[in-house]
Chains A and B, each alone.
Chain A
């Protein structure tokens, strides 16, 4: 999986939930979306990337990914 692709997908999801004024709700939304829609190897890749440095992920996406595993 190209990590650039996964970063973009995560950021696109966080762009939608960014409309939420309650950022905890937004993070929960992003996390649940990734959990319910991403195949495990995609999730593993983005988690590993976040743990490495997470560069390029939006703040909301980073927070959501941090809660994935």
Chain B
């Protein structure tokens, strides 16, 4: 193992297809047109000195170190800003160039602290490297005035800004602009007074900085430096792995000192992130070694008992015997399990295999039930495959981008930055969202052309109105439809959607969106050379979630916006491995690869491979499990890596169901909320402690690599294997690669996937098989994945939600997430990210607040038909009158106390986005919060007792 430092070519690669020939220092070089001389030289191993240039940023030409001479040319041009030309003869080193470079370096060093031996960048400093490269041996100047006493800004919890070490190369400023798109940094002042300034000369934490780390990565000195490096020194080896936060699936170099992660640095060749990161993946990894980690297995007879630490053997045997006892008492179908989108593909595959083959039923489900299950259903029906159609890079060719019910800059920040880059290049933007997300007008140099600010729950009326305009104004792509789609279904849909009830002038009363805006947005999307739709949970988490996904698919097919780069239907998956956990057969009705359990061929394939009888009946979905538990017919649950006691709707109902079960087995890294209702706790491993793969929102299978030993001794797949063996269904894998071999053998879309190929290519987008041995960046290019190859149009009538506003519940609560926190917060709440978001707040419009006498920061009670909770108010016009909004990252917030059991008709995905509520000013926590707080404290005491006895 070594650091394997990534080569910096100085400037970005040219994408030109034509090439030019030139000579650099006597060596012949061929480079794509538009390549800089600096990059062309680097490509043949000639390193031209540089400071302001780095290949993640456009060339800037300010440091004057990279000067070269061109035969027949005048002066000494900067090699970073000068493109190669046919027949050029370039000299990168000669005495004159050396003298100029030494002179430049001398000036830099004259105003730089000479504390290299004690500097945190010692050994990893480009300024130091350049001083050596140019042969600087003395500094002749004794400046009267310097920046050496400039004050260090330590306000950011993860990095410091030491202006005394700044050389004003602008790399940080450019990274903030070009890579992140936040424009939080600028160079303030001129000449000697020039300095890097966050916002208006504010500390970093008070500025617009989103702490993505792009500036830190770009800094060539110790000016911007990770505090973890300052505290621990530079790393000594690096292992490439994949982030365990959102569905972007960024590739990272875990830079290590022994088994300690010093820093996570986004990998330049990561195909999902291209060297970029966000505050979570880049910095918020400390939870993995947080003191709350539980590393010993524990059991107890009742949730009123103290936990008892036991050996792995005892815990596993106890868990297995309890599950078998329950099956004997209540029947084979009385137990089941939940897989995790936070675990690897291999772990998820193994859990569903244990349940289907070891438990003998199909009672397996996953957290996609509560997020993107409608995506799986809707896209499978229309396109034939339960996945998005594009790779992330496709957005760079989109001309019109429609973002529906998603907030990419907060939920999928690295992709959000890529999207913003395309928008700054001129792509048009349509935002469909009840709330003003940052893309609407709060991102510099980005502004939505249309913000269709619809009422929550009216998505389908809106998509139908868009479809109506497309059809009635003859904006359809008939050639595409005739060639690629089921024409009979199109004709039926065309008649349906042309009905006047779908006209924008009619739906305006439902959606609240002016008809003229709908018409203009529909025209913009339909007329685009490339129109691309990106959507999130604001589409799926509705009673008509699946209908809306189908509606999106309909208009994409009708306008021919599928099957090529720049277009498509792109679900932005929430968690790191939501796509993968669904692919791996986590749904109760489907084997891996989305094949129904009753399909004779598939059923026979799996029975033969797994050497056991399998059920042909669909199993229970998560909400059905809760219902059955309260009915005493589902009494044992194995939960790997999910926190259903916090994340699922109508939480009082969930808690009652968990209390009703006789054995709840939780496998997790923390005593999460669900574990407070558990009888067996099996300590899990963080993503840093395991091998495997994650599949991101663009179907990209990326490697997860172990960088430290599992704190509890086992990787999660090993724990599942132990449990399976104890249950009497033998498993004997030696490594996750063997599990992937089995997945590939049984799943057509994965048949070409192997660890060897992932290592070779870095990552692979499925389908990967004989037809696409290198994977498939863009799907449905020639035909759709349905049996007949044709895209299917389906009818999507708008059906109003049953969650009605009334005088008693006059407001609609909708939910979302924030950049710095992740999902239920179990990870990010245990990091410094709480500095940005330490509590969930209720956003309320000024009019609604005024009507209720509510001021900013007041405690407000939010009461729905399901329950009541209390949060602090945040008054903002980002929400429209009549709508309130909150995040759900803190268990004590009880956001899911108020959400209801309404769900999507096809998949039972909860209607998180629509809850009728009343909001009033209060001065104490709700009864539920008080009760739950007492329960939670009691559970922590029972844990403490167990740990002190152990």
User: Chain A interface (Cβ within 8 Å of chain B)?
Assistant: 1-2, 5, 9, 12-13, 15-16, 18-20, 33, 36-42
With a CB–CB cut-off of 8 A, which chain A residues contact B795? 19-20
Contact B797 A13 (CB under 8 A): no
Contact A37 B618 (CB under 8 A): yes
With a CB–CB cut-off of 8 A, which chain A residues contact B620? 39, 42
Bound form: Cα–Cα A20–B793 in Å? 12
3 A-B pairs with least C-beta separation: A12-B905, A19-B795, A19-B797
With a CB–CB cut-off of 8 A, which chain B residues contact A18? 797
B14 at the interface (CB under 8 A from A): no
User: Chain B interface (Cβ within 8 Å of chain A)?
Assistant: 333, 362-363, 496, 543-544, 546-547, 588-589, 596, 598, 617-621, 624, 627-628, 630-631, 633, 795-797, 799, 901, 903, 905-908
Contact A1 B618 (CB under 8 A): no
With a CB–CB cut-off of 8 A, which chain B residues contact A33? 906
The closest CB in chain A to the CB of B331 belongs to: A41
Contact A16 B905 (CB under 8 A): yes
Quote the shortest CB–CB distance from B598 to chain A (angstroms). 7
Quote the shortest CB–CB distance from B288 to chain A (angstroms). 37
* Contact for B799 among A16, A40, A41, CB less than 8 A: A16
Listed by A's residue number, 18 A-B pairs whose Cβ atoms lie within 8 Å are A1-B631, A1-B633, A2-B627, A2-B630, A2-B631, A12-B903, A16-B546, A16-B547, A16-B906, A19-B496, A19-B795, A37-B906, A38-B618, A39-B362, A39-B588, A39-B617, A39-B619, A41-B628
Bound form: Cα–Cα A19–B621 in Å? 26
- Given A16-B799, A36-B596, A5–B627 Cβ distance below 8 Å? yes
With a CB–CB cut-off of 8 A, which chain B residues contact A9? 905, 908
Bound form: Cα–Cα A20–B624 in Å? 28
Count: A-B pairs, CB below 8 Å: 60
Contact B588 A13 (CB under 8 A): no
Contact B624 A15 (CB under 8 A): no
Contact A36 B624 (CB under 8 A): no
Quote the shortest CB–CB distance from B281 to chain A (angstroms). 35
Bound form: Cα–Cα A15–B543 in Å? 11
Bound form: Cα–Cα A19–B624 in Å? 27
Bound form: Cα–Cα A9–B802 in Å? 12
Contact A40 B797 (CB under 8 A): no
Bound form: Cα–Cα A36–B596 in Å? 8
With a CB–CB cut-off of 8 A, which chain A residues contact B544? 16
Contact B906 A13 (CB under 8 A): yes
Quote the shortest CB–CB distance from A55 to chain B (angstroms). 18
With a CB–CB cut-off of 8 A, which chain A residues contact B796? 19
Contact A42 B905 (CB under 8 A): no
With a CB–CB cut-off of 8 A, which chain B residues contact A38? 618
With a CB–CB cut-off of 8 A, which chain A residues contact B628? 1, 41
With a CB–CB cut-off of 8 A, which chain B residues contact A2? 627, 630-631
Bound form: Cα–Cα A37–B369 in Å? 13
* Contact for A15 among B589, B617, B905, B908, CB less than 8 A: B905
With a CB–CB cut-off of 8 A, which chain A residues contact B362? 39
With a CB–CB cut-off of 8 A, which chain B residues contact A15? 797, 799, 905
Quote the shortest CB–CB distance from A5 to chain B (angstroms). 6
Bound form: Cα–Cα A36–B903 in Å? 18
Quote the shortest CB–CB distance from B629 to chain A (angstroms). 11
With a CB–CB cut-off of 8 A, which chain A residues contact B799? 15-16
Quote the shortest CB–CB distance from A23 to chain B (angstroms). 13
Contact B543 A42 (CB under 8 A): no
* Contact for B598 among A16, A20, A36, A42, CB less than 8 A: A36
- Given A2-B627, A16-B547, A36–B589 Cβ distance below 8 Å? yes
With a CB–CB cut-off of 8 A, which chain B residues contact A20? 795
Bound form: Cα–Cα A38–B596 in Å? 12
The closest CB in chain A to the CB of B377 belongs to: A37
With a CB–CB cut-off of 8 A, which chain A residues contact B621? 37, 39
The closest CB in chain A to the CB of B633 belongs to: A41
The closest CB in chain A to the CB of B336 belongs to: A39
The closest CB in chain A to the CB of B631 belongs to: A1
- Given A9-B908, A16-B905, A33-B906, A39–B618 Cβ distance below 8 Å? yes
Quote the shortest CB–CB distance from B471 to chain A (angstroms). 16
The closest CB in chain A to the CB of B547 belongs to: A16
The closest CB in chain A to the CB of B798 belongs to: A19
Quote the shortest CB–CB distance from A14 to chain B (angstroms). 9
Bound form: Cα–Cα A16–B362 in Å? 26
Contact A42 B596 (CB under 8 A): no
Contact B627 A1 (CB under 8 A): yes
Bound form: Cα–Cα A42–B627 in Å? 10
Quote the shortest CB–CB distance from B335 to chain A (angstroms). 13
- Given A16-B547, A19-B795, A19-B796, A39–B906 Cβ distance below 8 Å? no
Bound form: Cα–Cα A12–B905 in Å? 5
Bound form: Cα–Cα A42–B547 in Å? 23
Bound form: Cα–Cα A41–B631 in Å? 11
- Given A1-B628, A42-B624, A37–B589 Cβ distance below 8 Å? yes
The closest CB in chain A to the CB of B907 belongs to: A37
Bound form: Cα–Cα A20–B908 in Å? 22
Bound form: Cα–Cα A40–B618 in Å? 7
Q: Knowing that A37-B618, A40-B617 touch, tell me 16 more A-B residue pairs with CB under 8 angstroms.
A: A1-B627, A1-B628, A2-B627, A2-B630, A12-B905, A16-B546, A16-B799, A16-B906, A19-B496, A19-B797, A20-B795, A33-B906, A36-B596, A38-B618, A39-B362, A42-B624
The closest CB in chain A to the CB of B619 belongs to: A39
Contact B797 A12 (CB under 8 A): no
Quote the shortest CB–CB distance from B903 to chain A (angstroms). 8
With a CB–CB cut-off of 8 A, which chain A residues contact B543? 12
Bound form: Cα–Cα A1–B333 in Å? 14
Bound form: Cα–Cα A19–B547 in Å? 11
Bound form: Cα–Cα A18–B795 in Å? 9
Bound form: Cα–Cα A36–B595 in Å? 11
Bound form: Cα–Cα A40–B617 in Å? 7
Bound form: Cα–Cα A37–B546 in Å? 14
With a CB–CB cut-off of 8 A, which chain B residues contact A1? 624, 627-628, 631, 633
Quote the shortest CB–CB distance from A29 to chain B (angstroms). 10
Bound form: Cα–Cα A38–B907 in Å? 10
- Given A16-B799, A19-B797, A39–B905 Cβ distance below 8 Å? no
Q: Point out which of B588, B624, B796, B903 has the most chain A C-beta atoms below 10 A from its C-beta.
A: B624
With a CB–CB cut-off of 8 A, which chain A residues contact B618? 36-39
With a CB–CB cut-off of 8 A, which chain A residues contact B619? 39
Quote the shortest CB–CB distance from B212 to chain A (angstroms). 41
Bound form: Cα–Cα A20–B496 in Å? 9
Bound form: Cα–Cα A55–B907 in Å? 24
With a CB–CB cut-off of 8 A, which chain A residues contact B588? 39
The closest CB in chain A to the CB of B627 belongs to: A1
* Contact for B905 among A13, A36, A41, CB less than 8 A: A13
Quote the shortest CB–CB distance from A4 to chain B (angstroms). 10
Quote the shortest CB–CB distance from B681 to chain A (angstroms). 28
With a CB–CB cut-off of 8 A, which chain A residues contact B797? 15-16, 18-19
With a CB–CB cut-off of 8 A, which chain B residues contact A36? 589, 596, 598, 618
Bound form: Cα–Cα A20–B901 in Å? 27
With a CB–CB cut-off of 8 A, which chain B residues contact A12? 543, 903, 905
With a CB–CB cut-off of 8 A, which chain B residues contact A42? 620, 624
